């Protein structure tokens, strides 16, 4: 399961930022997961809860925002979310669409607790 390696990288990144900012712990991580990213949110949450123990993220709230597929139609110019798993423009039914969001996973924000 690649969710374990993703969580490992996420925890390392969060700790690097915490150390750079002289924080004593990470209190919140917020990520955005595209529905086409290949990441299974439930498995990611389970992996995070398992591997955060003993890290600066041990008490961190883990927030996942699921990003639907957003496309731009090269024929009519429509730009918006696809509501179905049909990769056709919802307005003109063209198959000439470009996916502009929903394929990636991003760390959107971290909240850190410092001694200040």
Please state the separation of Cα 40 from the chain's center in Å. 11
Give binding residues for Zn(2+) as ranges.
73, 76, 89, 92
Q: DSSP strand E in 1-96: where? A: 23-34, 61-67, 70-73, 79-81
Token reading at 73: 């139609």
Give binding residues for Ni(2+) as ranges.
2
CA dist list (Å): 76 to 9, 62, 80, 84, 92: 40, 39, 12, 19, 7
| Nearest one of 116, 115, 71 to 96, comparing CA atoms | 71
CA dist list (Å): 28 to 1, 20, 114: 24, 16, 13
């Amino acid at each position: 399961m690649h969710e374990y390696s993703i969580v490992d990288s996420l925890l390392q990144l969060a700790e690097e930022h915490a150390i750079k900012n002289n924080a004593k712990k990470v209190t919140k991580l917020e990520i955005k997961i595209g529905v086409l990213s290949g990441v299974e949110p439930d498995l990611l949450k389970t992996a995070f809860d398992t591997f955060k123990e003993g890290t600066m993220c041990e008490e961190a709230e883990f927030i996942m925002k699921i990003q639907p597929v957003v496309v731009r139609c090269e024929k009519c110019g429509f730009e918006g979310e696809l509501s179905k798993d049909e990769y056709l423009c919802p307005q003109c039914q063209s198959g000439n669409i470009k996916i502009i969001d929903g394929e990636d996973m991003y760390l959107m924000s971290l909240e850190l607790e410092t001694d200040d």
